[in-house]
Amino acid sequence: MNIITVAKLQKKYKSLTAVEDVTLEVGEKEIFGFLGPNGAGKSTTIKILATLVKPTSGTAFVGGFEIVRQPHLVRQSIGLVFQETTLDERLTAGENLYFHGMLYNLERSAMAGRMAEVLAMVELTDRKNALVKTFSGGMKRRLEIARGLIHYPRVLFLDEPTIGLDPQTRNRIWDYIHHLRLRENITIFMTTHYMDEAENCDRIAIIDHGSIVALDTPANLKKMVGGDLITLLAPNRSEVKRIIQETFGLAAVESEEQLQLEVESGESFIPSLAGRLNGLISSISLRKPTLDDVFIKLTGRDIREEAADNWGMMRAHMRGRNRK
Amino acid sequence: MRVSKAIYTIWLRDVIRFYREKPRILGMLGQPLLYLLIIGNGLSYSFRMAAAPQGFNYLEFMYPGIIGMSVLFTSVFSAISIVWDREFGFLKEVLVAPVPRWSVAIGKALGGSTIAMLQAAILLLLAPVIGIKLGPLTVLKLLAVLFLIAFSLTSLGITVASRMETMEGFQMVMNFLVLPLFFLSGAMFPMKGMPPWLETLMRLDPLTYGVDALRNIMFATSPARELLVQFPLSTDLAVVAAMSLVFITAGTMAFSKVE
Ligand SMILES: Nc1ncnc2c1ncn2[C@@H]1O[C@H](COP(=O)(O)OP(=O)(O)OP(=O)(O)O)[C@@H](O)[C@H]1O
Ligand SMILES: [Mg+2]
């Protein structure tokens, strides 16, 4: 059963088309990643699915409810962590959770227990009564995730949950996410700029200029780039090249001091290659295509630069706030 | 059930935020005292030489006006929290909650009214200092009218705040609205004897009837009543009720359209 179904979603802002054509399905308990350069339409898609923005055309069902006709039912069944923080910094962590629980009609009798549970999950139990403005960026993010979970949503939308966080905190957040799927039977729909994180997703959609350009598992997406890359260092390159051509029928490319060849499956090829070239080569290295390569191939842009950009934007944003 | 829970939650948050901010509490206490001491006393001295009719006490006249003024400013500007929440992101958390928008607007209006009412209650406690005796029933009636005024003015604030992206914009628009509302309300000077054009404007200001209702109730048994009051209480109450209805409808509708 699919918990999210999106068909031909489109969103126009005056002359600008933020979302051009998004069609996708997300299965229950899946971790679904949404990848794309800045301005591709990721946040807009999430806002439409969360019923915060109305689509210009197209339909979507979330948790079995239609987003335009049944917004309240959709809202009750989703949790949200927006790209920008939406905590009330002048309230305590506990109050933020409490108010959220109240707005989502959590039973009063269940409230305290559930609050303790989600706070423990993100390791903020001891900060329950502290004002949120005293929290670090990572703590705020964790609290937002806890808040998004308090009303037992079936789908959790995370828009850049790890942006601007240090690697340890990012790993912790991923631990919670994996943990969640096991404990809360939840589906996760998330965007990220970090390719290493995208590897954690079951499936990934790559979106560019408002349209989905690829949608598959990380492994299959990487196959789109071509085979594995093997690099050899050898004193006598032309000799080695000739042997490879004769034995394996492969054309190695000579570049600078090395030889490169592309093969379907590098791991199983290396033993026979090394056996045949014994004594003729000084080193062999194998490189797998990464999601970065996929991203560059599909969008023509390097996502690492995008991530850096976002960092800068985020810091500028924070500075703007602190000045007030 | 769900709706009342939402209204309560939004109200509670505004109240908690208010009592956490010590400067705001100080301001709430200090501002009306300042109005009363400086404006009330200062103006009543300078007006003494004017050809006031026998038995007309300017401070008595001003007192309900100052209460009305405090309620006006506190109510209307409390809606700035919407602009604030938009800026700091929290508004989105509220907008995606599975509760009707109008219940959020009502919760906000109640939050702002509560604070305005606190201020009004403090001012009413000072009545004996001014030399006005108020029975408990009179105080209750006054509070009821003040609540209607506060609730409608907060809603007016919400109507504007729902469309504003920045604090500066909100403040500008509010000043444009609030100052004429205040000066034309008869809080500072009586309508009688004003030039016709000014009197017409004053008759158009709904707040005129709010302030007049306060005077009607406060001086119901006072011999000076005829001098202080402009309209029958029933007219005042009808206009105040109509104003509440219009502003509350406008406020909830404007907030429902927020994106
Ligand atoms: N409220 C709005 N009014 C007008 N244009 C908008 C609005 N919101 C988004 N856009 C535009 O829609 C496009 C998509 O924006 P969106 O925020 O969805 O991008 P994104 O993929 O989330 O980017 P990022 O990685 O930077 O977060 C952008 O060109 C943006 O300027
Ligand atoms: Mg975004």
Query: What are B67-94's pLDDT values in tens digits?
Result: 998 899 999 989 999 999 998 899 999 9
Helix (H, G, I), strand (E, B) or coil at A161: coil
Which of A10, A14, A16, A157 has most ligand 1 atoms within 8 Å of CB, for mutation? A16
pLDDT top residue among A294 and A310 = A294
Helix (H, G, I), strand (E, B) or coil at A17: strand
Residue A302's pLDDT band (cuts 50, 70, 90): low
pLDDT (average), residues A77-90: 93
A241 and A265 fall within a common domain: yes
A97 and A244 fall within a common domain: no
Protein residues within 5 Å, CB atom, of ion ligand 2: A 42-43, 83
pLDDT of residue A140: 93
Assign 3-state DSSP to chain A and report helix, strand, coil percentages, each to 5: 45, 25, 30
Does residue A255 belong to any structural domain of this protein?
Answer: yes
Task: Give the number of other Cβ atoms within 10 Å of residue A79's Cβ.
Answer: 28
Task: Give the number of other Cβ atoms within 10 Å of residue B61's Cβ.
Answer: 24
Calpha distance A102→B19 (Å, rounded): 21
pLDDT of residue A305: 58
pLDDT of residue B48: 58
Residues of chain A contacting B14 with CB distance shorter than 8 Å: none
pLDDT of residue B40: 67
pLDDT of residue B52: 57
- Write A266-275 long-range contacts (CB < 8 A, 24+): A266/A227, A266/A228, A266/A229, A266/A230, A267/A228, A269/A228, A269/A230, A270/A230, A272/A248, A273/A230, A273/A244, A273/A248
Of the three residues A180, A202, A222, the one that is the final residue of a domain is A222
Q: What is the pLDDT of residues B19-70, one digit of tens each?
A: 888 888 888 888 878 877 777 677 666 665 455 556 667 777 888 888 998 8
Residue A221's pLDDT band (cuts 50, 70, 90): confident
pLDDT (average), residues A219-225: 82
Cα of A39 to ligand 2 centre, how many Å?
Answer: 7
The CATH number of whichever domain residue A280 belongs to comes to: 3.30.70.260
pLDDT top residue among A258 and A323 = A258
**Do the bridges between strand A187-191 and strand A31-35 make them parallel or antiparallel, or are there none, so unpaired?**
parallel
Contact B98/A80, CB-based, under 8 Å? no
Residue A314 has pLDDT above 60, yes or no: no
pLDDT top residue among A292 and A143 = A143
Q: Note the ligand closest to the C-alpha atom of A209.
A: 1
Helices (H), A104-234: 108-121, 137-149, 167-184, 195-198, 218-223
Determine the distance in angstroms separating the CA of A155 from the nearest CA of chain B, rounded to an integer.
Answer: 14
Calpha distance B158→B154 (Å, rounded): 6
CB A60 within 8 A of CB A249: no
Domain count along chain A: 2
CB A103 within 8 A of CB B104: no
A132 and A218 fall within a common domain: yes
A191 and A265 fall within a common domain: no
A202 and A104 fall within a common domain: yes
Confirm or reject: Cβ of A190 under 6 Å from ligand 1. no
Q: What is the largest CA-CA distance in chain B?
A: 62
Torsion angle (degrees, nearest 10) of CA A119, A124, A128, A130: -150
Q: Which class for B193: exposed (0-12), middle (13-18), buried (19 or more C-beta within 10 A)?
A: exposed
Say what the pTM is: 0.84
A-to-B residue pairs, Cβ atoms closer than 8 angstroms: 66
Determine the distance in angstroms separating the CA of A321 from the nearest CA of chain B, rounded to an integer.
Answer: 8
Domain count along chain B: 1
Q: Which helix (H) or strand (E) holds B22?
A: helix B22-34
- What range defines the domain where residue B150 resides? 2-256
Calpha distance A197→A283 (Å, rounded): 30
DSSP letter for A162, please: T
CB A34 within 8 A of CB A11: no
Backbone angles phi, psi at A192, to 5 degrees: -155, 160
A130 and A231 fall within a common domain: no
A159 and A259 fall within a common domain: no
User: Which residue does chain A place closest to B5, by CA atoms?
Assistant: A102
pLDDT (average), residues B229-247: 92
Confirm or reject: Cβ of A299 under 6 Å from ligand 1. no
A118 and A207 fall within a common domain: yes
pLDDT of residue A276: 87
Residue A319 has pLDDT above 50, yes or no: no
Q: Note the ligand closest to the C-alpha atom of A39.
A: 1
User: Which residue does chain B place closest to A96, by CA atoms?
Assistant: B13
Does residue A186 belong to any structural domain of this protein?
Answer: yes
- What range defines the domain where residue A103 resides? 2-222
pLDDT of residue B223: 76
Confirm or reject: Cβ of A42 under 6 Å from ligand 1. yes
Residue A252 has pLDDT above 90, yes or no: no
Does residue A96 belong to any structural domain of this protein?
Answer: yes
Contact A86/B99, CB-based, under 8 Å? no
Calpha distance B259→B243 (Å, rounded): 26
Nearest CA, atom 10, ligand 1: A18
Confirm or reject: Cβ of A33 under 6 Å from ligand 1. no
Residue B144 has pLDDT above 90, yes or no: yes
pLDDT (average), residues A161-186: 84
Backbone angles phi, psi at A160, to 5 degrees: 50, 60
Residue B141 has pLDDT above 50, yes or no: yes
Does residue A324 belong to any structural domain of this protein?
Answer: no
**CA distances from residue A323 to A318, A319, B66 in whole angstroms, order as listed:** 9, 6, 35
CB A295 within 8 A of CB A275: no
- Most confident listed range (A122-126, A250-254, A287-291, B32-36): A122-126
pLDDT of residue A306: 59
pLDDT of residue A104: 95
**Do the bridges between strand A258-263 and strand A211-216 make them parallel or antiparallel, or are there none, so unpaired?**
unpaired
A114 and A233 fall within a common domain: no
Q: From the candidates B5, B13, B258, which should be mutated to test the interface with A, based on the most A CB atoms within 10 A? A: B13
Residues of chain B contacting A85 with CB distance shorter than 8 Å: 89
Q: How many residues does chain A have?
A: 324
Residues 6+ apart with CB under 8 A from B46: none
Does residue A316 belong to any structural domain of this protein?
Answer: no
Residue A316 has pLDDT above 60, yes or no: no
In DSSP notation, B26-81 reads: HHHHHHHHHIIIIIIHHHHHHTTTS-PPTT--HHHHHHHHHHHHHHHHHHHHHTHH
**Do the bridges between strand A155-159 and strand A16-27 make them parallel or antiparallel, or are there none, so unpaired?**
unpaired
pLDDT of residue B61: 80
From the list A75, A87, A90, which residue is nearest B96 (CB)? Answer: A75
Which of A42, A189, A209, A314 has most ligand 1 atoms within 8 Å of CB, for mutation? A42
A59 and A175 fall within a common domain: yes
Of the three residues A173, A193, A222, the one that is the final residue of a domain is A222
pLDDT of residue B150: 96
DSSP letter for A123, please: T
Task: Give the number of other Cβ atoms within 10 Å of residue B50's Cβ.
Answer: 8
The CATH number of whichever domain residue A159 belongs to comes to: 3.40.50.300
Calpha distance A14→A20 (Å, rounded): 13
Please give the structure tokens belonging to residue A205: 């959609």
Q: What is the pLDDT of residues B164-193, one digit of tens each?
A: 888 899 989 988 889 999 989 988 888 877
